[in-house]
Structure 1
């Protein structure tokens, strides 16, 4: 089953998943070059705009609490289409906002709708089998990294031609395309957990499994390292280093190379190495990046002293997350929606809280990042040691 041929339906599913992945970068990444314009528009600081991104991530995490369990009982199609409709409404509200408070409110509405993107993990679990799932997750993480690295360049172009509203306008167009594609492709058949409608009972079941919780926490901690850098990167590059939005966008193109490198490495490791070894390798790279970032503090702040450690960190994140996610999702295959929501909720809570905390360390953002990478990777390595023994015991 791992080597089943590609069918037109599978190809269409991959296209849908890639479009959802692309759509996911707009609320968090394409908007980055518009920070100064947004700050001017709403008469606030760029730091406040950065905090709004962290708030978006936290709002998204709460949406995830209901999306997954409901999709297990109501079906993926209904929830995906409903979520996209809410996200589109939120984006339209952001474009119409005249005050910062209203902008924040509609960003939260957009975040609530974007919770449906977590269903991509459930769709991978539903539509693909065995190693196909891990290979597709590696491809999606790699594609996400490429989209993220290109998104500031796209954001700069949109800012120059359409203003800060441009990213929201393209989000609406892509959202409508996802709605149409989901309507054509997906069947609204509930999962095998159709009778399980009590959300808290669903979460109690998955979170009671320590291996499930541990693997998702590893993925969440790795994501938090990447997400923290993305959120504060405009403050480092455009405010402290005085790069133009275009120079900032070109800088992040180099950052994207780490995703490609990490994706290639993850693909090779997936064929030859055990999951635990892959996770240790990825987390080791994140720890190394934190050490590099702290050591380079003795030199004057520059693009290189920030970007080189981040390239190492991102390669480690790209190696760690797909395998940790696959191990977590494989524990409850018949509750894929709940599993995906639970895991993504952890991911965005961790990303939002940790990035918000680092953003408050305005005196030395780079040092705060380095300490964060070292601390989070150490915690994740300890978790991996614990859950790997449990996972292997469960498979015997």
Structure 2
């Protein structure tokens, strides 16, 4: 951004923020908003809801494959062209899903849509490119907060779209939002390749460089463990509230709205902390809150009958901790290789995707009490993450001390 032109800079910054928030919102639609439409989709394609669920799994695989390629490629050719191309491909896939009446073609178009959505991994790289210092940290807090809110309201939005526009409604809205993101990217992003020192690294070399760094992987694992706590709850929440407690879909949606409020509180606390303490301290505070939430959940599970409050109270604490931890850990990780921001974002997103998926699957398949399993998981994940953060901090202190002693000895 050109600091010599403050008007243009302000306009670009506002445009970039609105673009990033639109990308966060758009990332929710292909998965969460479609869930209430599973029965009608199954009827339309003359298949079972379980078969329709396969489209979700294939979509996730498609995104994972695409983002691994898109990140390093964006370090070489730039973000704008890839983002515009990704939006165009995702819109093509969404429109294909709307017009087809064949289940196999529907799955193919969902994969096409997912491959286009892989460009959303560029959001973290764009934050690294376009913003600096505290502004960058605050924006990451805003994005995590917005993501949690969008996920929380998505079941209610999906129910509304299903009731008014049918199962095609989510695809039409996705297409419209993708068009908005495409226009904003064309308007506010520059076409030049991100500034980098030296010769651009090859695909394998770039990944080997970032994934071979202990601190980089460690910070992303901390962010991934915090995300896994949130994602695990989202995955098993229908089992707890609708299956065990027999709540209606509407009541379940309202509970998730309350859950979304915790992201707002967490975002406010994270913003205040970012102005007063280092990102390292923010990580400790956030993980400590997740650890506390696990202990509270175990206490309530052991001493009180299962009820919405016994699950929501510890989850509100956990979510606030997640909102504090993830932006701080992400900022630490992304700052290590700014010249390979695309590769860093892709590698980190893949780590988060794998950890969140595996941990949530293990919790959902647990034969024990889900509430108790969730509590033990929070305690374990927070404990490991705190130990990992302590190890990284110790390594950094040793390296700084060594760097100070060597010049003095010379």
Q: TM-score, normalised by structure 1?
A: 0.90
- Alpha-carbon spacing, 1:138–1:373, altered in 2? closer, same or farther (3 Å): same
Structure 1: gaps of 5 or more residues: none
- Residue in structure 1 matched with residue 342 of structure 2 by the alignment: 337
- Residue in structure 2 matched with residue 311 of structure 1 by the alignment: 316
Deviates more, 1:305-314 or 1:254-263: 305-314
- Alpha-carbon spacing, 1:165–1:174, altered in 2? closer, same or farther (3 Å): same
- Is 1:281 the counterpart of 2:285? The answer is yes
Give runs of aligned pairs for residues 112-131 of structure 1, distance below 5 A.
Answer: 112-131=115-134
- Alpha-carbon spacing, 1:303–1:91, altered in 2? closer, same or farther (3 Å): farther
Q: CA deviation at 1:62?
A: 2.7
Q: Could you tell me which of 178, 183, 186 is aligned with 1:175? A: 178
Give runs of aligned pairs for residues 1-396 of structure 1, distance below 5 A.
Answer: 7-38=10-41, 43-44=47-48, 53=56, 56-96=59-99, 103-193=106-196, 195-196=199-200, 198-298=202-302, 299-361=304-366, 364-392=369-397
Q: CA RMSD in A?
A: 2.7
- The question of whether the paired residues in 2 share the 8 Å contact of 1:61 and 1:346 is answered with no
Describe the superposition over 1:132-191 as per-residue Cα deviations: whole angstroms up to 9, x where unpaired: 110111111112222222222212211211223322221111011111211122122112
Measure, in 1, the Cα distance between the counterparts of 2:233 and 2:17.
Answer: 28
Deviates more, 1:126-135 or 1:355-364: 355-364
- Alpha-carbon spacing, 1:76–1:249, altered in 2? closer, same or farther (3 Å): same
Secondary structure of the residue that 2:251 maps to in structure 1? helix
Q: CA deviation at 1:372?
A: 2.1
- Residue in structure 1 matched with residue 408 of structure 2 by the alignment: none
Measure, in 2, the Cα distance between the counterparts of 1:159 and 1:203.
Answer: 42
Measure, in 2, the Cα distance between the counterparts of 1:358 and 1:116.
Answer: 29
Q: TM-score, normalised by structure 2?
A: 0.87
Measure, in 2, the Cα distance between the counterparts of 1:172 and 1:150.
Answer: 19
Q: CA deviation at 1:269?
A: 1.0
- Alpha-carbon spacing, 1:253–1:154, altered in 2? closer, same or farther (3 Å): same
Measure, in 1, the Cα distance between the counterparts of 2:162 and 2:380.
Answer: 36
Measure, in 1, the Cα distance between the counterparts of 2:106 and 2:244.
Answer: 26
- Alpha-carbon spacing, 1:315–1:53, altered in 2? closer, same or farther (3 Å): farther
- The question of whether the paired residues in 2 share the 8 Å contact of 1:62 and 1:345 is answered with no
Measure, in 1, the Cα distance between the counterparts of 2:19 and 2:246.
Answer: 38
Deviates more, 1:59-68 or 1:236-245: 236-245
Deviates more, 1:355-364 or 1:301-310: 355-364
Q: CA deviation at 1:205?
A: 0.8
> Using CA pairs below 8 Å that are at least 6 residues apart, which structure has the higher relative contact order?
1
